[in-house]
Chains A and B, each alone.
Chain A
Amino acid sequence: MNWLQIGSAVFVGAMLIYIFPRMRHAMKNSPKGTTQDWMGFIIPIIAIVLFVALLIMSVR
């Protein structure tokens, strides 16, 4: 294990420690979405997945 890996591990570990309380706060306080709300998120995500697949095929 080189020092770059150790540095990366410290960096990602610090991110986890920073995110954890914010994640708990967001989980407790964010409103619950309806099925319609989630569809409004899933549809653009499907479009992005297809677009990324197209980009991958274009560079092959």
Chain B
Amino acid sequence: MYQNQSAVTRTSSSVLATNKVLKNTYLLLSMTLIFSAIMAYVGIISGASQGGAMIASFGAIGLLWFVLPRTANSAAGIPVLFAITGMLGYGLGPMLSYYLAMSNGPQLIMTALGGTGIIFLGLSGYALTTKKDFSFMAGFLMVGIFVVFAAMLANIFLQIPALSLAMSAAIIMLMAGFILYQTSDIIRGGETNYINAAASLFISLLNMFTSLLHLLGALGGDD
């Protein structure tokens, strides 16, 4: 009897902890997305150059790899995450300016943004309601990302448009897999740090948005 009560107490406290991580993750994710959108707007109106965008992206990746892992367990992790998302948002400036110059550019951007939002909500809802364990996908997703980056490196020199489109399609599917994997990891108590969780989901969303915009621009653009 006491054993059963103890097990119930442990289970309910674990569920409460998971719900708290999930709530904090989504709260931080929404705030970083808003901040990133503001920085993207700054990038557009200030006429950020491609070189400036690349430096901002390099800076963001440097913070993501070397600073966030050291600060994620303290309050300092939050400003670091905002710096990362702000720089990545600013780095989108030249790309968004390019699409805005197209006659249907605003429509393409809004469609990519809305599409990314709907896919994210759908996948999160799917992972949250089914509570499936997607940990088996870790190896597949990492190999997929490695192959895409290798193809990306080759295409910098080869400049094949069809390969570029195929990579964008592959990135959308891989990021969908990452969202399922990360959400299930939070639900099952594997990820207990909401700063790391928000950073991972932000990167997945950003990659999905840019890839979807690339596909829409290439296949649905009129320029």
Contact call B219/A56, Cβ cutoff below 8 A: yes
Say whether B135 faces chain A, with CB atoms less than 8 Å apart. yes
Contact call B118/A40, Cβ cutoff below 8 A: no
Q: Chain B's interface: helix, strand, loop or mixed, by majority?
A: helix
Q: Which residues of B contact A29 (CB under 8 A)?
A: 138
Q: Which residues of B contact A22 (CB under 8 A)?
A: 142
Q: Which residue of A lies closest to B179 (CB)?
A: A44
Contact call A45/B212, Cβ cutoff below 8 A: no
Q: Which residues of B contact A40 (CB under 8 A)?
A: 130, 132, 134
> In whole angstroms, what is the CA distance A13 to B219 when docked?
28
> In whole angstroms, what is the CA distance A12 to B153 when docked?
6
Number of B interface residues in the complex (CB < 8 A): 50
Q: Which residue of B lies closest to A43 (CB)?
A: B126
Contact call B172/A26, Cβ cutoff below 8 A: no
Say whether B180 faces chain A, with CB atoms less than 8 Å apart. yes
Size bin of chain A's contact surface: 35 or more
> In whole angstroms, what is the CA distance A47 to B221 when docked?
23
Per-position binary interface string of chain B over residues 36-72, scored 1 when its CB falls under 8 Å from any chain A CB and 0 otherwise: 0000000000000011001001100100010000000
Shortest beta-carbon distance from A11 to chain B in Å: 7
Q: Chain A's interface: helix, strand, loop or mixed, by majority?
A: helix
Q: Which residues of A contact B157 (CB under 8 A)?
A: 1, 5, 9
Say whether B79 faces chain A, with CB atoms less than 8 Å apart. no
Q: Which residues of B contact A20 (CB under 8 A)?
A: 146
Quick one: which of A1-17 are within 8 Å of B by CB?
Answer: 1, 3-5, 7-9, 11-16
Shortest beta-carbon distance from B96 to chain A in Å: 16
Per-position binary interface string of chain B over residues 93-122, scored 1 when its CB falls under 8 Å from any chain A CB and 0 otherwise: 000000000001001100110010011001
Contact call B142/A19, Cβ cutoff below 8 A: yes
> In whole angstroms, what is the CA distance A13 to B110 when docked?
32
Contact call B220/A12, Cβ cutoff below 8 A: no
Q: Which residues of A contact B57 (CB under 8 A)?
A: 11
Q: Which residues of A contact B142 (CB under 8 A)?
A: 19, 22-23, 26-27
Q: Which residues of B contact A30 (CB under 8 A)?
A: 135-139
Contact call A16/B115, Cβ cutoff below 8 A: no
Q: Which residues of A contact B54 (CB under 8 A)?
A: 4, 7-8, 11
